[in-house]
Each structure stands twice: as structure tokens, then as C-alpha cells.
A and B are shown apart, each in its own frame.
Chain A
Amino acid sequence: TQLLEQSPQFLSIQEGENLTVYCNSSSVFSSLQWYRQEPGEGPVLLVTVVTGGEVKKLKRLTFQFGDARKDSSLHITAAQPGDTGLYLCAGARGGNEKLTFGTGTRLTIIP
């Protein structure tokens, strides 16, 4: 059973468009992270959110943690080819719980 479901699984859009990626679960997480992974490399941490309702911005990327801490979204404004990659959300349930990764969203930005 996959605890974290991401949607869409694949997304291909034109440069300059906006997009939103979703990460949903029926479980509550104490924190949630977003990573971006490029081919041949390991995932790189983008952001960590820990408070329900929290919104964090990283340049053109906006991350939101749901009020109930069961879901999160990543919004990209004016997408650029450099945003291309596999986006992964990952949740932790506190204490010594392991990090659980989502199913991933493969994003392609077309110049």
C-alpha cells in the first residue's frame, strides 16, 4: 500500500505556464518534504513543511502543507526548462519513523 499518492504521474507543459503537483495521503504526517531528482542523480531537498496550513516559497515554487497535515501541493509559476525533473514528496510521522516517499511526478517543460 502506497501511503503517499502523487498526481499527476506525468506532466508535460510549455515554458511559461503554471502548474500544480499534488501529494495526498490518508495518514497524518509530522513533516513533509519535497525533492527534485534529475536523471543519474539522487533527489535534492527543496523544502520541508512541518505546520498544518504552512506555505513556503522558493522563488517561483510555492509549497503548501494541508491543514490536517495529510496532503501537500507544489505550485510552479512560469515554468522553465530547468524545472524539468522527477518531483517527490516524502513524509515522516515523527519519532523514529522512517521517511515514506510518494509515487513521484515526472515533469517536462518544453522550451
Chain B
Amino acid sequence: KAGVTQTPRYLIKTRGQQVTLSCSPISGHRSVSWYQQTPGQGLQFLFEYFSETQRNKGNFPGRFSGRQFSNSRSEMNVSTLELGDSALYLCASSLQGRRFGSYNEQFFGPGTRLTVL
């Protein structure tokens, strides 16, 4: 079974531009989560989508947005890029929705390395 794929793997943008990152989850997985990883802040949760609906959101400004399509593929968009947005953006998929007491086993993609100049 193919793993989580993310495109592109590397991206260089300049301040003020916008960027769209793509994530294809493992086949059959309906939940997709996005994370930002930086040396200073570690791995921080951006948002989670399940069945095309945003189910959870982290503490990031509105410049960060996402969506999920009917085939569970997800995109993340960052508008008006800032230097501080330079990071590794990770996508993770999991099998199904979580119920109380269940645990969320996530499988990560290789990430998109975004550099903002």
C-alpha cells in the first residue's frame, strides 16, 4: 500500500507570495492533518480535515487555510508569506474518525520544505 505523498518536496517563495501544498493520504484514510515543523517551535498542529470538513484547528493566523476533497486528498494554502513561514510542512493521514477513548494513529508524509526569501 502506498504511503502518504506530498508535493512538491521543496519550494522557494518570496515574501508576500502565496503557496499551495498538496497531500495524498494512504488509500482508505479519511482524516488528514497538517503540521508545521521548525527548529525553534518543533512540530505544531495546523488543522485536521475529515470527510471534507475541518474538524480541528491549531493556533495559526488566518493566512493558513486548507481544504479536503471528496477523494480525501488535501491542500494547504498560505497567503502573504512571511519569512517566519519557512518550515517543513508535514501531512499525516489516519484511517477514520476518532471516538472517545480511541487513539489517533497517524502516518506521515515526507513533508514539503518551504523556504521564504
Contact = CB atoms under 8 A, between A and B. Distances in A.
B110 A101 contact: no
B8 to A, nearest CB: 14
A46 to B, nearest CB: 11
Interface residues of A, number: 27
Main secondary structure of the interface of A (DSSP, over half): loop
A99 interface: yes
In this complex, the member of B98, B103, B108 whose beta carbon has the largest number of chain A beta carbons within 10 angstroms is: B103
A98 B43 contact: no
B42 A103 contact: yes
A96 B4 contact: no
B48 interface: yes
Interface string A48-85: 10100000000000000000000000000000000000
A100 interface: yes
Given A88-B43, A99-B33, A42 B104 contact: no
Interface of A: 2, 30-31, 33, 35, 40-45, 48, 50, 88, 90, 92, 94-104
